[in-house]
Amino acid sequence: MDLSRREFLAGMAATCAFCGCSSVPPLPPPKYALGEDGTVEIPPECRAAGGQARVGLGGGEQALVWRDDAGLHAAGAACTHRGGEIVYDAEQRDLHCPTHGARFRTDGTCKDAELALRPLTIYDVEVAGDRMRISR
């Protein structure tokens, strides 16, 4: 059976859509992780407004920690759309997934329901000296 180029490409696109060829790779390992006492030193990246870092929470779970004028905040580091890495956009004052463009408010709610149907998990951040505790 001979396929035209158009038929071949259409078949490949359908196969990739069905099999998930457009999947996103898993998040890279975090640079920081909670210690046995459930705390971690505040990352140097998070000492000034606009700074951000990923922190391992255990069990493969990661949080994005960012600082704005109000202090430190944390949300799930994986986008609820397809698992891409979430970043804090200090200019827009929101959370963004550069992989597919999903945007979230800093309370975790979706800004664009077409790209992400579920909100991000939001964590409480408690600061004591130069350490922080991240919890639900």
Per-residue pLDDT in tens (0 to 9) along the chain, 136 residues: 566 655 554 554 444 444 444 567 789 999 999 999 999 999 999 999 999 999 999 999 999 999 999 999 999 999 998 899 999 999 999 999 999 899 999 999 999 877 788 999 999 999 999 999 999 8
Q: Are 104 and 116 in contact (CB under 8 A)?
A: yes
**Whole-angstrom distance, CA of residue 52 vs CA of residue 112:** 23
Helix (H), strand (E) at residue 127? strand 122-128
Asked if residue 12 is part of any domain, the answer here is no
CATH number of domain containing 43: 2.102.10.10
- Tell me which amino acid residue 86 is: I
Number of domains present in the structure of the chain: 1
Asked if residue 5 is part of any domain, the answer here is no
Q: Tell me phi and psi for residue 5, to 5 degrees.
A: -60, -45
Q: What is the model's pLDDT at position 14?
A: 46
Asked if residue 10 is part of any domain, the answer here is no
Q: Is the pTM of this model over 0.85?
A: no
